């Protein structure tokens, strides 16, 4: 007779049974064998198993009707004591799991088809917990006994621990090896292993009967209560979609038990199984029609990435790459579920998973032979691991401290402002995964792991950013690391931004040349500014304002600066000095545009400034031009400015960086919960502060704020309103003018997609690490100087003894900027060239090319004297 397959749930135990399709109702349970089956056959229901359990129940309570019966499990034999229905039900389940003998029914015995009806229905919630536990443990034993003849259907902690113990006792680990190979190579088996609803594991023996039943799915309860099965479609849908989540603590205990064994026992088996599993995933995922139901895949990935040794040995070289390649086929819904799972409270594995992926990428970078025909972007293992790391990146944000996404909505601008101010470009991520998760990088106040842990320096060094940028701009779907900026160091991302800026500059230059050739009115191919050193702000303001009104696209051109009455061709050095002088003057408190916070020494917008919007637009343009022309500025904004530039309003936590004393005061208010709150703080919703002229200014956070006291109930409202006023409302006019100028330059740039707010600060202000040892190592020599030349040894001896202020002056003198570039001083590539024999001349420099021209002075003392004079009197002199 043909065999039928069916999938059943008995007390939520996944079983596969096979039975013969014949008319003999006396077919015994011994004819049933556990086998694996296809989901398409699941609709055969649990009827066969339920029928067998009913027969065991009848046999225990009523017997078979044969007075000569010798079956000790049959009431007709006289060997079965009187049982209550509940006791009989529990024992029936146990007999079912033992393949116990079923008697043939006596012809005179009428089957009681309503034995499980309304009058004598088995109440699952009244079953003794210990009897159910015993039945389940026996059932697990059945599965273990079947390992030699049929594939294991699932694993849990009890099964695995018993199996390991049995293997140790017999000193034969073949059953364990076979079981691990079968389970970890099968999507279906692995996805149904180590589940939270495995309520009969020893870790749950203290639960009440109510708790036990609450863990069962509805179909299991209905099955044992005798309710009607659902229709075939419902059963099929249930079998596909109702897979419970993985029990992470139990899974980790299982891995610990496995890892206590000799690695030779499990390593090869698990590695081979995972490779097979990866192949199955690669074939299965693209062919799935239902893209929303991937709970089995989710469970599989969770279980696999919890393996502690996934980043070592053969796992790293073989298994992990295969899993990463397979994960490329995941749809965005599964990615989002995986990110949320990895961000749960039991997220301690986040670091281990990240380290494993980082090791894999680093290994592939080191061992791969990249060349002109094979770039790092073509290495499938690296790109697939990077894509998988993106899921981890968002999980890391979800696991950290998040702020409301409402802070990303910049407040409506006052209707009295010019309509042009309404052209505010908010930071909106186009990443589908971020959209699915409803998260933005700006929402994350503090990640679970530092963002810097996601940088991969070997990879960043290996990437040829010109090729990557070409892929980024390509319409052919080529892989670009610029789409995964979290893995790139800031120095590498700056190269990507540099290529984008330079291409725009060259494009504007070509347009100007083409216009000249064709006889059309053409503009200058460069953004040329001619300013007087003594009137630099006024001159720059006039010229930049004219450009912004008439030729705004000129801001996309390369900047060329000329100081009136001074010689020099701007190859970069003159522009650096221009920016430095503008910043020094415009941020001077005496100028009145910005104020300096006494505790943090940061500069903030002056809410009572008399300067016009054009002045703030100018400083925004200067900031944008500095980024566009790859110039580092000596500005000291608090981090909230960079967050606001990227589209996030300031909030209470931003005060910690701007005004630490105020932040601590407000935090103490939030932390205070005693009944005498009002007497202690004596605060109303009217605030006061002193402006730059020493005048006291008051402001009501609510109407009639001086009549509303701050209480335990409304203190959070007070802090939010206070922070919003200081960081947003009070400087709204000044900030939006500043923002407008900034966006005039960078509006088409990938700046916001590549950099986080703290990286924007690094991009504008440079590094704070003045490591002159790095500078010495990277410095090159010309004109006869070498590292062994005595004057060079004396030079570095003098420089290393300089104060930090003198070191800044030396950088200013040699490079045109006193800031450290992103990536450290080693990226400056300073050149020290011989400038003739000993003389009384001062050292000079070409700041455009970072070249220091140094005469070969006769003594160390003379060298020091001339060098100090040069760096202290260098503005507009000695720098070419």
CATH code of 701's domain:
3.30.2160.10
Whether 386 has a pLDDT exceeding 90, the answer reads yes
**Residue range 280-313, pLDDT digits in tens:** 998 888 877 655 567 889 999 999 999 999 988 8
**Per-residue exposure over 598-621, b if at least 16 CB sit within 10 Å of its own CB, e if not:** eebebbbbbbebebebebbbbbbb
Kindly state whether residues 343 and 249 are assigned to the same domain: yes
Residue 153 has a pLDDT of 79
Q: Given pLDDT bands bounded at 50, 70 and 90, which one contains residue 218?
A: very low
Rounded to whole angstroms, how far apart are CA atoms 541 and 614? Answer: 8
More confident residue, 205 or 258: 258
Kindly state whether residues 694 and 631 are assigned to the same domain: no
Kindly state whether residues 39 and 168 are assigned to the same domain: no
In a domain, 173, yes or no: yes
Query: How much of the chain exceeds pLDDT 90, in percent?
Result: 33
Query: How much of the chain exceeds pLDDT 70, in percent?
Result: 78
Kindly state whether residues 691 and 760 are assigned to the same domain: no
| Rounded mean pLDDT, 453-479 | 90
List the structure tokens of 26.
């006396």
In a domain, 14, yes or no: yes
List the structure tokens of 592.
């009145």
Whether 128 has a pLDDT exceeding 50, the answer reads no
Which of 281, 489, 536 lies closest to 384, judged by CA? 281
Kindly state whether residues 722 and 625 are assigned to the same domain: no
Judge whether 444 counts as a catalytic residue.
no
Whether 209 has a pLDDT exceeding 60, the answer reads no
CATH code of 529's domain:
3.90.1750.10
E-assigned strand segments in 668-771:
686-690, 696-700
List the structure tokens of 195.
């589940």
In a domain, 237, yes or no: no
Kindly state whether residues 530 and 562 are assigned to the same domain: yes
In a domain, 320, yes or no: yes
Q: Given pLDDT bands bounded at 50, 70 and 90, which one contains residue 242?
A: low
- Sequence-distant (6+) residues with CB within 8 A of 827 are 491, 778, 821
| Rounded mean pLDDT, 129-151 | 43
Q: How many domains does one find in the chain?
A: 5
In a domain, 659, yes or no: yes
Kindly state whether residues 608 and 556 are assigned to the same domain: yes
| Rounded mean pLDDT, 490-506 | 88
Residue 639 has a pLDDT of 92
More confident residue, 241 or 115: 241
Residue 113 has a pLDDT of 36
Residue 585 has a pLDDT of 83
Kindly state whether residues 216 and 124 are assigned to the same domain: yes
**Residue range 246-266, pLDDT digits in tens:** 999 999 999 999 999 998 888
Rounded to whole angstroms, how far apart are CA atoms 398 and 343? Answer: 6
Q: Given pLDDT bands bounded at 50, 70 and 90, which one contains residue 849?
A: confident
Kindly state whether residues 196 and 206 are assigned to the same domain: no
More confident residue, 217 or 172: 172
Kindly state whether residues 255 and 354 are assigned to the same domain: yes
Kindly state whether residues 598 and 613 are assigned to the same domain: yes
Maximum Cα interatomic distance, the chain, rounded to a whole number of Å: 129
> CA Rg, the chain, in Å?
37
Decide which of 366, 394, 422 is a domain's last residue. Answer: 394
In DSSP terms, which residues pair with 846 in a beta bridge? 851
Residue 602 has a pLDDT of 87
Residues in the chain: 880
Decide which of 394, 413, 439 is a domain's last residue. Answer: 394
In a domain, 49, yes or no: yes
In a domain, 855, yes or no: yes
Neighbours of 443 (CB within 10 A): 20
State the pairing for strand pair 444-446/401-402.
antiparallel
Kindly state whether residues 82 and 219 are assigned to the same domain: yes
> What domain range includes position 521?
513-647+733-765
In a domain, 283, yes or no: yes
């Amino acid at each position: 007779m043909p065999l039928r397959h069916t999938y059943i749930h008995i007390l939520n135990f996944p079983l596969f049974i096979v039975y013969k399709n014949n008319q003999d109702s006396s077919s015994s349970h011994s004819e049933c064998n556990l086998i694996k089956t296809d989901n398409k056959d699941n609709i055969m229901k649990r009827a066969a198993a339920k029928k067998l359990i009913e027969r065991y129940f009848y046999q225990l309570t009523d017997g078979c009707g044969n007075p000569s019966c010798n079956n000790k499990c049959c009431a007709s034999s006289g060997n079965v004591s009187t049982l209550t229905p509940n006791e009989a039900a529990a024992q029936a389940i146990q007999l079912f799991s033992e393949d116990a003998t079923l008697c043939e029914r006596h012809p005179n015995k009428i089957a009681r088809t309503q034995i499980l009806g309304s009058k004598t229905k088995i109440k699952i919630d009244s079953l003794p917990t210990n009897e159910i536990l015993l039945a389940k443990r026996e059932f697990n034993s059945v599965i273990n006994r079947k390992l030699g003849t049929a594939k294991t259907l699932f694993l849990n902690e009890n099964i695995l621990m018993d199996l390991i113990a049995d293997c140790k006792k017999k000193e034969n680990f073949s059953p364990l090896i076979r079981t691990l190979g079968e389970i970890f190579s099968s999507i279906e088996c692995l996805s149904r292993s180590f589940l939270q609803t495995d309520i009969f594991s020893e870790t749950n023996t203290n639960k009440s009967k109510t708790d036990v039943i609450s863990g069962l799915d509805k179909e299991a309860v209905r099955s044992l209560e005798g309710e009607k099965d659902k229709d075939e479609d419902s059963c099929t849908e249930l079998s596909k979609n109702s897979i419970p989540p993985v029990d992470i603590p139990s899974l980790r205990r299982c891995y610990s038990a496995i890892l206590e064994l000799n690695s030779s026992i499990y390593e090869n088996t698990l590695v081979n199984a995972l490779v097979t599993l990866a192949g199955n995933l690669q074939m299965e995922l693209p062919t799935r029609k239902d893209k929303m139901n991937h709970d089995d895949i989710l469970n599989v990935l969770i279980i696999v990435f919890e393996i502690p040794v996934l980043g070592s040995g053969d796992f790293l070289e073989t298994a992990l790459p295969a899993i990463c390649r397979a994960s490329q086929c995941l749809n965005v819904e599964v990615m989002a579920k995986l990110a949320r799972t990895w961000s749960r409270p039991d997220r301690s594995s986040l670091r281990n998973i990240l380290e494993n992926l980082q090791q894999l990428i680093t290994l592939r970078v080191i061992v791969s032979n990249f060349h002109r025909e094979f770039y790092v972007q073509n290495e499938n293992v690296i790109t697939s691991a990077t894509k998988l790391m993106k899921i981890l990146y968002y999980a890391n944000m979800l696991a950290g401290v998040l702020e409301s996404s409402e802070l990303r909505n910049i407040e409506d601008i006052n209707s009295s402002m010019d309509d042009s101010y309404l052209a505010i470009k908010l930071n909106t991520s186009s990443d589908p995964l971020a959209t699915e998760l409803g998260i933005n990088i700006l929402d994350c106040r503090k990640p679970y792991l530092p963002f810097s842990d996601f940088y991969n320096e070997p990879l960043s060094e290996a990437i040829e950013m010109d090729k990557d940028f070409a892929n980024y701009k390509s319409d052919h779907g080529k892989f670009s690391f610029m789409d995964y900026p979290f893995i790139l160091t800031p120095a590498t991302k700056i190269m990507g931004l540099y290529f984008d800026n330079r291409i725009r500059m060259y494009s504007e230059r070509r347009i100007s040349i083409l216009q000249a050739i064709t006889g059309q009115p053409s503009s200058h191919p460069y953004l040329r500014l001619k300013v007087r050193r003594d009137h630099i702000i006024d001159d720059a303001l006039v010229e930049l304002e004219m450009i912004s009104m008439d030729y705004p696209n000129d801001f996309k051109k390369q900047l060329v600066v000329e100081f009136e009455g001074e010689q020099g061709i701007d190859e970069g050095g003159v522009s650096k000095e221009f920016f430095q002088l503008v910043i020094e003057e415009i941020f001077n408190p005496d100028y009145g545009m910005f104020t300096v916070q006494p505790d943090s020494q940061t500069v903030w917008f002056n809410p009572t400034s008399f300067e016009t919007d054009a002045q703030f637009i100018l400083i925004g343009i200067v900031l944008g031009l500095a980024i566009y022309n790859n110039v580092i500025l000596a500005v000291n904004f608090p981090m909230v400015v960079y967050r606001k530039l990227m589209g996030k309003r300031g909030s209470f936590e931003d005060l910690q960086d701007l005004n630490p004393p105020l932040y601590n005061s407000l935090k103490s208010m939030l932390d205070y919960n005693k009944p005498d709150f009002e007497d202690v703080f004596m605060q109303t919703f009217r605030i006061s502060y002193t402006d730059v002229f020493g005048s006291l200014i008051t402001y009501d956070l609510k109407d009639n704020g001086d009549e509303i006291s701050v209480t335990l109930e409304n203190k959070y409202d007070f802090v939010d309103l206070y922070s919003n006023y200081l960081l947003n409302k009070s400087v709204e006019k000044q900030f939006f003018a500043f923002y407008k100028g900034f966006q005039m330059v960078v509006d088409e740039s990938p700046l916001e997609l590549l950099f986080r707010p703290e990286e924007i600060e690094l991009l504008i202000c440079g590094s704070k690490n003045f490591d002159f040892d790095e500078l010495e190592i990277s410095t090159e020599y010309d004109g006869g100087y070498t590292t062994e030349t005595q004057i060079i040894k004396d030079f570095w001896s003098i420089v290393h003894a300089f104060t930090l202020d003198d070191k800044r002056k030396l950088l200013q003198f040699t490079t045109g900027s006193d800031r450290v570039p992103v990536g450290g001083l080693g990226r400056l590539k300073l050149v020290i060239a011989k400038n003739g024999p000993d003389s009384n001349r001062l050292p000079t420099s070409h700041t455009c090319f970072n070249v220091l021209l140094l005469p070969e002075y006769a003594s160390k003392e003379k060298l020091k004297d001339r060098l100090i004079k040069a760096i202290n009197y260098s503005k507009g002199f000695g720098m070419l």
